[in-house]
Amino acid sequence: MGRAKTKGVRGRQRGSVAGSTGRRVGRRDKDKLAIHGGTPVRTKPFPQRRPFDQREIKAATAAIRSQNLFWSGGKYVVAFEKKFPGYYGQKYGVAATSGTAAIHLAVGAINPNPGDEIITAPITDLGSVVPILLQNAIPVFADADPATMNMTPETVEAKITQRTRAIIAVHLFGNACEIDAIRRIARRHRIPLIEDCSQAHATRYKGKYLGTFGDIAAFSMQQSKHMTTGDGGIAISNNARYGKRMKAFQDKGWPYLRFGRRAYRFLAPNYRFNELQAAVALEQLKKVRSVARRRQRLGTLLSKLIAGAPGVLPPAVTPGSEHTYWLYPLRIVGGPAKRFCKVLAAEGVGAWANYIGVPIFLCAETLTHKNTYGDSHCPFTCPSAGREYEYVDGMCPGAEEGLKHVAPIALHEHYTERDIRDTARAICKVAQALYGG
C-alpha cells in the first residue's frame, strides 16, 4: 500500500499522465508551475466541511419545539454537562459560550490574586491569554519547540517563580504537548495545571485522552473545531472544588443552591450555555472520536506521500501522541513560507504562511502596549505586580523559528483520499520546482 501511494505522488515523472482536470497533459506541461503558465494540479474545489447532518437538525428542532432554550428547566445542557466530562472520565463539566470562556472558567476556579503569574504558550489563540488578564493576573510565556511549535517542559519550568499561580498547557493543531512532563513539573511545584484542548478533541497521548492530565481542561466548540456548536466551550475537572466554583463562575457567581434571596458569592461573568447549543453538542459528541480518527488517517497519509520532497517537512508529532490535524502544519525549510504558499495556491491548494505570524504576545496590544483597563495598564502597573513586564521580539526564539517555517493546510474529515493525493502532488511539484536543484 505504501508503494502505491508513492507512485501516486511521483507519477508526474513518468511521461503523460492525467491531471485532476481529467485531460491528458504532457510531462513537461505537468511539471511546469501553474504560476508560470503550467497546468494546475487541482482545479476542482476541495470539499466543504459538513459537520452537521440530520441528527443535529432533529435535535435542534426538538430543542426549539420545547419552547424553552434556557438551561434551567431544560434537559440538554444538564445532559451535556454530564456526558461530556463522562466521555473523558471526569466528574464535573461546565459548558460556556466559547473556548475562551471555558478557559476563563478554569482560571476563575483557580482564583488567582491580582499580580499572580500564569504561564502559557507563545503560539496559540489570544483566547488562552485573555482569561488571565480578565482575572488581573499576568501572562508569562514559555517557549516552543520549533518543530512541533508546542510549549516545552524545560521552558515552562524556567519561567516558574514564587508568583506563579497556574500553568495553561496548549495542545496545538491536534498534537499533544509533552503534557506528562509538564504535569510532573506542576506537581513538583504544587501549581494547578490547565489543559487547553481547543484544537485537540478526542486525541490520545500515551493511551489517555488529552484533557485528563491536568486539574482542569478547557475545550472550544467554535465552528472549525473537531466538534462544534458554531461557538461554545466546556471545562471539565475531577476536582469537586474546581467543578463547583466553575459552575458558579459561569453565572455571575451564583451557585443556584437555592432560590429566594439571591447570593452572588464572587465577581464573575455570565457564560451560560443554552439548550439549542447543547442539543447539537450532544450529537457532536457521539461522533467526535470518528472525526478525530479520520483526520489522523488523512494527515498520516499526506505525511507519507510528501516524505522526501525537497525543502518541506511533514508535521512533527510528539512521541506518544496521536495527531488529529485541526490543521495540517506543513513545514517549509527550503525557502520563505510565503513564497511557497503563493506558488502552491496557483496549483489549487491553499496554505496559510506563518500561521499567526509572530508569537501571540506580539499580536496583542493588551500586552505590547498594556491596553487593558482604561488607561491604568493594570495588572502590569498595579501595586500587586512584582516586577516590570515587557513583551518583545526575542523572548521566545523557538516559537519565532517555528512560525517562520510553518504553512498550515486545511484538512478535515470530509476530504477523500483523492483530495489528499492531489494535495500531496501539488506540494511535491512545488517543492521540486523551488528546491529540487
pLDDT confidence of residue 2: 38
Supply angle C-alpha 60, 61, 66, rounded to 5: 100
pLDDT confidence of residue 27: 57
Alpha-carbon distance 345 to 410, whole Å? 12
The answer to whether 430 touches 33, Cβ cutoff 8 Å, is: yes
pTM over 0.85: yes
Alpha-carbon distance 128 to 83, whole Å? 25
Strand 204-205 to 208-209 pairing: antiparallel
What is the dihedral sign for C-alpha 431, 432, 434, 435?
A: positive
Show Cβ contacts of residue 373 under 8 Å, excluding neighbours closer than 6 positions: none
Cis peptide before 379 (omega within 30 of 0): yes
Q: Where are the domains of the chain?
A: 54-284
Residue 34 β-bridge partners: none
Q: Per-residue confidence at 257, pLDDT binned at 50, 70, 90? A: low
pLDDT confidence of residue 38: 97
| Grid coordinates given for 90 | 471526569
| Grid coordinates given for 139 | 501572562
pLDDT confidence of residue 263: 85
Q: Per-residue confidence at 255, pLDDT binned at 50, 70, 90? A: confident
pLDDT confidence of residue 205: 98
- The amino acid at residue 51 is P
pLDDT confidence of residue 15: 34
Residue 196 β-bridge partners: 170, 218
Quote the mean pLDDT of the chain: 93
pLDDT confidence of residue 22: 42
The answer to whether 254 touches 264, Cβ cutoff 8 Å, is: yes
pLDDT confidence of residue 260: 65
pLDDT confidence of residue 4: 36
pLDDT at 97 over 50: yes
pLDDT confidence of residue 5: 36
| Size of the chain, expressed as the number of residues it contains | 437
Q: What is the pLDDT of residues 153-162, one digit of tens each?
A: 999 999 999 9
pLDDT confidence of residue 382: 87
pLDDT confidence of residue 437: 80
pLDDT confidence of residue 261: 73
Strand 328-332 to 406-409 pairing: antiparallel
pLDDT at 385 over 90: no
pLDDT at 390 over 90: yes
**DSSP tag of 251:** B
Mean per-residue pLDDT for 92-99? 98
Show Cβ contacts of residue 23 under 8 Å, excluding neighbours closer than 6 positions: none
φ/ψ of residue 292, rounded to 5: -65, -45
Mean per-residue pLDDT for 54-79? 97
Strand 193-196 to 204-205 pairing: unpaired
Q: What is the pLDDT of residues 262-305, one digit of tens each?
A: 889 999 999 999 999 999 999 999 999 999 999 999 999 999 99
**Stronger pLDDT, 181 or 262, i.e. the higher one:** 181
Alpha-carbon distance 131 to 150, whole Å? 20
Mean per-residue pLDDT for 172-201? 98
Percent of the chain with pLDDT over 90: 88
Q: What is the pLDDT of residues 117-170, one digit of tens each?
A: 999 999 999 999 999 999 999 999 999 999 999 999 999 999 999 999 999 999
Give the lowest-confidence range in 23-37, 66-80, 142-156: 23-37
pLDDT at 219 over 70: yes
pLDDT at 351 over 50: yes
Q: Which CATH number fits domain 54-284: 3.40.640.10, 3.40.1390.10, 3.30.470.20, 3.90.930.12?
A: 3.40.640.10
Q: Per-residue confidence at 29, pLDDT binned at 50, 70, 90? A: low
Alpha-carbon distance 312 to 334, whole Å? 7
pLDDT confidence of residue 60: 98
Which residue in 262, 275, 266 sits closest to 248, CA to CA? 266
**Stronger pLDDT, 199 or 8, i.e. the higher one:** 199
Which residue in 424, 422, 305 sits closest to 21, CA to CA? 422
Q: What is the pLDDT of residues 405-419, one digit of tens each?
A: 999 999 999 999 999
Ordered strands of the 92-96 beta sheet = 92-96, 233-237, 216-220, 193-196, 164-170, 117-120, 138-141
Which residue in 101, 100, 150 sits closest to 126, CA to CA? 100
| Grid coordinates given for 390 | 515587557
φ/ψ of residue 330, rounded to 5: -60, 145
Start-end of H helices in 307-414: 337-346, 360-363, 365-368, 397-405
pLDDT confidence of residue 262: 80
The answer to whether 173 touches 315, Cβ cutoff 8 Å, is: yes
Per-residue burial over 53-75, b if 16 or more Cβ lie within 10 Å, else e, is eeebeebbeebeeeeebebeebb
Show Cβ contacts of residue 106 under 8 Å, excluding neighbours closer than 6 positions: 131, 168, 194, 216, 217, 218, 235, 237, 242, 246
SS3 content of the chain, % helix, strand, coil (to 5): 40, 15, 50
Q: How far apart are the first and last CA of the chain?
A: 29
